């Protein structure tokens, strides 16, 4: 049995936890209300919030979707918002790009200057999107134009973006050695992988041996340095209201070469050409031969980096298997 001292300690712990929960709930509701007033309607009031925890990747810390009921003069609506514990980099990047009218969700936080993860409320970009009824040619164009705009707008802004980490040679080497290499070493000795993809192994090995060395040429071209997303997998590119494309989840953002973004969204020659032309229309001109050379080099590197997840799960996920096939082809292209 517990003595009085132990009982009091348990009660104090419970009381502290309840107080912390109450404070967190109050902060969440205040943040949602502030977000609604700033971006939806200055007279709207939050009447009710139904929250659902989301699990969408290892970086999605404290990620929730909230169905928010609104009231107020002329306001009778329901909307959806996202909250998460976001890094300082993501909060600052979202704020900067939204001010630049880039294709990113609006966001609100009570801790804009905090160096640690802090609560942020974000527009639920594709809450009203009908993914069964999409104009894909239009959306591809919007995606390319939106990415080109972000890159052009922040090109050469090294002083303004001094708070961003750099996508330098050490970053490239770490992605290969720490993210790709362990998964690849395991996969290439797996009998199922050898049976399905064994023909790729020697060529992928050769590509990996020269990947970081080849990337030196790309990284030396400082004229291509800008704010980059650095993690443009399909889950971070969402359709907004069926007619536009928004870029989300900027935790991996860096100051580095635009070629570290482009191949993942412009994997075909026609899309890559469209992106280069979109940049040119904005006033950033890259010679075609140079663009094609650096695009090919970055494609091989990015294929290695981003096949990691697929290497680990392809046997139990057809979508991951299809993605792995794509990345293997990119790596040896």
149 within 8 A of 102, measured Cβ to Cβ = yes
- Each residue's pLDDT tens digit, 271-301: 999 999 999 999 999 999 999 999 999 999 9
> Is residue 251 predicted with pLDDT exceeding 80?
yes
User: In whole angstroms, what is the distance from residue 179 CA to residue 201 CA?
Assistant: 17
CA distance 302 to 231: 10
> Is 17 a residue whose pLDDT tops 60?
no
Mean pLDDT for 155-161 is 97
* pLDDT level of residue 11 (50, 70, 90 thresholds): very low
pLDDT mean across residues, the chain: 92
Tokens of 118: 């802090």
pLDDT at position 20 is 40
Rounded CA separation 270/55 (Å)? 35
Contact indicator for 200, 314 with CB cutoff of 8 Å: no
Global pTM? 0.90
Does residue 21 surpass a pLDDT of 80? no
User: Over the stretch 25-71, which tens digit does the pLDDT of each residue have?
Assistant: 889 999 999 999 999 999 999 999 999 999 765 556 889 999 999 98
Would you state the pLDDT for residue 319?
95
Reduced to 3 DSSP states, what percent helix, strand and coil does the chain have, rounded to the nearest 5? 55, 15, 30
Q: What is the pLDDT of residue 55?
A: 77
């Amino acid at each position: 049995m517990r003595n009085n001292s132990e009982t009091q300690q348990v009660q104090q712990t419970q009381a502290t936890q309840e107080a912390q929960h109450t404070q967190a709930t109050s902060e969440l509701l205040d943040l949602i209300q502030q977000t609604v007033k700033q971006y939806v309607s200055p007279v709207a009031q939050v009447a009710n919030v139904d929250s659902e925890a989301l699990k969408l990747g290892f970086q999605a810390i404290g990620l929730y979707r909230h169905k928010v009921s609104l009231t107020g003069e002329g306001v009778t609506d329901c909307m959806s918002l996202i909250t998460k514990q976001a890094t300082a980099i993501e909060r600052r990047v979202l704020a900067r790009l939204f001010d630049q009218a880039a294709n990113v969700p609006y966001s609100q936080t009570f801790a804009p200057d905090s160096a640690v993860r802090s609560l942020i409320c974000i527009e639920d970009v594709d809450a009203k999107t009908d993914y069964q009824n999409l104009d894909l040619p239009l959306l591809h164009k919007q995606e390319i134009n939106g990415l080109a705009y972000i890159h052009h707008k922040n090109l050469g802004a090294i002083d303004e973006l001094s708070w961003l980490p750099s996508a330098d040679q050490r970053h490239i080497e770490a992605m290969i050695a720490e993210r790709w290499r362990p998964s690849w070493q395991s996969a290439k000795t797996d009998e199922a992988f050898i049976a399905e993809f064994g023909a790729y192994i020697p060529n992928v090995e050769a590509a990996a041996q020269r990947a970081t060395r080849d990337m030196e040429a790309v990284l030396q071209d400082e004229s291509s340095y800008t704010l980059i997303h650095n993690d443009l997998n399909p889950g971070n590119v969402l359709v907004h209201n069926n007619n536009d494309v928004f870029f989300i989840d900027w935790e991996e953002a860096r100051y580095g070469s635009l070629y570290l973004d482009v191949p993942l969204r412009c994997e075909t020659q026609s899309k890559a050409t469209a992106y280069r032309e979109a940049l040119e229309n904005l006033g950033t001109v890259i010679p075609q031969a140079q663009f094609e050379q650096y695009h090919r080099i970055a494609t091989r590197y990015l294929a290695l980096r981003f096949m990691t997840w697929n290497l680990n799960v392809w046997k139990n996920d057809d979508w991951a298997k299809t993605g792995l096939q794509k990345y293997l082809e990119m790596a040896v292209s």
